[in-house]
Structure 1
Amino acid sequence: MLLIPALYGLGWLLIQPISWLFPSIPLASRDLMGTLVSELLFLLVLPSWVRIRWDSAHPWQTLGVRSSQRSEGPGARLRGGLGWAFALLLLITLLSLAGGWGQWLGDLSLAELLNAVLLCIGVGLAEELLFRGWLWGELNHLIGPRLALPGQALIFSLVHTRFNLGFWPMLGLLIGLFLLGIALATRRRLDQGSLWGCVGLHGGLVGGWFALQSGLIQWSPLSPQWLTGPGGNPLGGVVGILALSTLLVRQLTALAKAARPSTGARSA
């Protein structure tokens, strides 16, 4: 349980000489550099960690980055996840435009588009490796599969929730993020253990929302929180929670059908 804090601490220590040599670098940039170093250390440690602690001869396949020869390719999984992210964001966009709470601008620079793509792939892959890859696997070993699935979703929601929003907005955000954590884990099960559908869904929501806010749509200050969500996160609004609940019901139904003897069982 100390692995991630230790890596973040080590990443912070490693960038301190840069801070001393170049004190003009903004604090936010130094924090970002430390985070990037920590993520690189995590990627370096992860294969050996999985081999030793999980007794796996194929760590990247166990984590869901590589697929078995019988399963669908990562590109198809990624596109599927992106499609669901697009559908969720499209719903919020259409409701905003129809209610007069948003105005379509369609103004997105090349730099903003590139940033959205990098957020989609970078954040999606990094966080899914951490939460649906490493954390879920660790919890499976520590507390068993029954508690590990909601456990990883709970930790995921607590890490991403802003606690300065007030009780009800914070509760809405916790619920939305928890549902997303469950939906992402269920997506991985449906994808026969592949992580790429989760990367597409998670990264698509992050990068797509960034693109919408960066110039595609101008939201009114009077936009209702039940639509755009607390703290600018639509997953914590009523629409986001209902949309994620609907997605989760569809996924659980598909998972139940896949587990029937007539269709063949699938495992995460």
Structure 2
Amino acid sequence: MQWVPTITLFLFLYPFGWIISHFVYLFNRDISSSNLSIIGTIITYILFLCILPSWGHIRWKTNNLWVSIGLDFKNKFQALNIFFSGFIFSFLLLSILVLVFFLCGWVDRFDNIKFTELLNAILLIVGIVVAEEIVFRGWLMEEMVLLFGLRRGIIIQSIIFSLAHYRSDIGLLALIPFFTGLFLFGLVLTLRRTIDRGSLWGCIGLHGGLVGIWYLIDSGMLVFSIDTPYFLLGPSKEMVNPIGSIFGITILLITIFFQRRLFARTGRFLASTVNASFKDETP
């Protein structure tokens, strides 16, 4: 029955955040349902952060929750070094994509980056990406390892990560490559954390770099030709996101191949306080 708290946590928190968010109606009756949903999600996340230290103490038997999920603030230089190593890797991956498109003649022009777009990209990294990494590669990964062990925990966490990004505005044929890319991306990020010996900063740098830099590209920094094959840019013409493209899936598979070899050389390590043995486990 160890799985019951894992499942019920957000089943309790999200409705509670939704109820609290509806008090906004007392001050603004004209607020849209989408903005209200965003407010509810933010409140849910704040409640989650408030509960997390007690969760770690009771369930994982740790008094240092932030170290357990990979956010060690003591050695700031090391944290920055790991973060920027992940960020630089994301820059290299997107540079390969841009170079291929440029050499194939599918880039019409390069435009300047606006300050507001740069600010939005930074907010994406600081807000959404950090939150996702704490939830998925931090808390959820620890929970999955506790329940299923390292190998199956990595896979199940990546499946949940991909399904959590379900979008109702794209068709089934587009969802399949989109979910496939997200699943592989979840594996890449989780293996990144194990290679970084439990640190979450490399995941934040890699995830944040891909999201932030692609946001700038998609906001007009690069103008792609109308002749560009859409399956190289995303799962469909209506959704330009390389994570679900043939190019993106191929790059992720190659990355996993080299990560797995590096993981085997650096040893089986995950900074965790959960009661699970990782002996004889391979991802």
Q: Would you say same fold, with TM above 0.5?
A: yes
1:50 aligns with 2:63: no
Instruction: Kindly state the Cα deviation for residue 96 of structure 1 after the two structures are TM-superposed.
Output: 2.4
Corresponding residue number in structure 2 for 1:251: 259
Instruction: Kindly state the Cα deviation for residue 15 of structure 1 after the two structures are TM-superposed.
Output: 1.6
Tell me, in whole angstroms, the C-alpha distance in 2 between the residues paired with 1:6 and 1:221. 47
User: What SS is found at the alignment partner of 2:108?
Assistant: strand
Equivalence map 1:172-187=2 (5 Å): 172-187=177-192
Instruction: Kindly state the Cα deviation for residue 150 of structure 1 after the two structures are TM-superposed.
Output: 0.3
Deviating above 3 A after TM superposition, structure 1's stretches of 4 or more consecutive aligned residues are 161-168, 265-268
Q: Deviations over 1:142-179 (max 9, x none)?
A: 22223111000011111124365444432211221111
Point out the more displaced range, 51-60 or 12-21. Answer: 12-21
Point out the more displaced range, 239-248 or 220-229. Answer: 220-229
Instruction: Kindly state the Cα deviation for residue 223 of structure 1 after the two structures are TM-superposed.
Output: 2.5
Instruction: Kindly state the Cα deviation for residue 103 of structure 1 after the two structures are TM-superposed.
Output: 2.5
Out of 95, 98, 110, the residue aligned to residue 105 of structure 1 is 110
Contiguous gaps of at least 5 residues in structure 2: 1-6, 272-283
Contact (CA 8 Å) 1:120, 1:208: kept in 2 or not? no
1:28 aligns with 2:52: no
Instruction: Kindly state the Cα deviation for residue 83 of structure 1 after the two structures are TM-superposed.
Output: 0.9
User: What SS is found at the alignment partner of 1:66?
Assistant: coil
1:129 aligns with 2:137: no
Out of 233, 245, 258, the residue aligned to residue 237 of structure 1 is 245
Corresponding residue number in structure 2 for 1:89: 94
Instruction: Kindly state the Cα deviation for residue 121 of structure 1 after the two structures are TM-superposed.
Output: 2.3
Residue identity matched to 2:41: T
Contact (CA 8 Å) 1:67, 1:194: kept in 2 or not? no
Corresponding residue number in structure 1 for 2:43: 37
Out of 103, 111, 115, the residue aligned to residue 120 of structure 2 is 115
Out of 18, 21, 28, the residue aligned to residue 15 of structure 1 is 21
Percent identity over paired residues: 36
Instruction: Kindly state the Cα deviation for residue 131 of structure 1 after the two structures are TM-superposed.
Output: 0.5
Q: Name the count of aligned residue pairs.
A: 262
1:171 aligns with 2:179: no
Corresponding residue number in structure 2 for 1:207: 212
Contiguous gaps of at least 5 residues in structure 1: 260-264
Tell me, in whole angstroms, the C-alpha distance in 1 between the residues paired with 2:74 and 2:122. 27
Residue identity matched to 1:58: N
User: What SS is found at the alignment partner of 2:164?
Assistant: helix
Tell me, in whole angstroms, the C-alpha distance in 1 between the residues paired with 2:95 and 2:109. 13
Point out the more displaced range, 83-92 or 159-168. Answer: 159-168
TM-score (norm 1): 0.90
Instruction: Kindly state the Cα deviation for residue 46 of structure 1 after the two structures are TM-superposed.
Output: 0.8
Output the aligned Cα RMSD. Answer: 2.0
Tell me, in whole angstroms, the C-alpha distance in 1 between the residues paired with 2:131 and 2:82. 17
Q: Deviations over 1:46-70 (max 9, x none)?
A: 111111111112111001011676x
Tell me, in whole angstroms, the C-alpha distance in 2 between the residues paired with 1:116 and 1:173. 22
Out of 63, 73, 79, the residue aligned to residue 69 of structure 2 is 63
Tell me, in whole angstroms, the C-alpha distance in 1 between the residues paired with 2:38 and 2:208. 18
TM-score (norm 2): 0.86
Tell me, in whole angstroms, the C-alpha distance in 2 between the residues paired with 1:162 and 1:135. 21
Corresponding residue number in structure 2 for 1:262: none
Tell me, in whole angstroms, the C-alpha distance in 1 between the residues paired with 2:247 and 2:68. 35
Tell me, in whole angstroms, the C-alpha distance in 1 between the residues paired with 2:86 and 2:265. 20
User: What SS is found at the alignment partner of 1:160?
Assistant: coil
Corresponding residue number in structure 1 for 2:277: none
Residue identity matched to 1:66: D
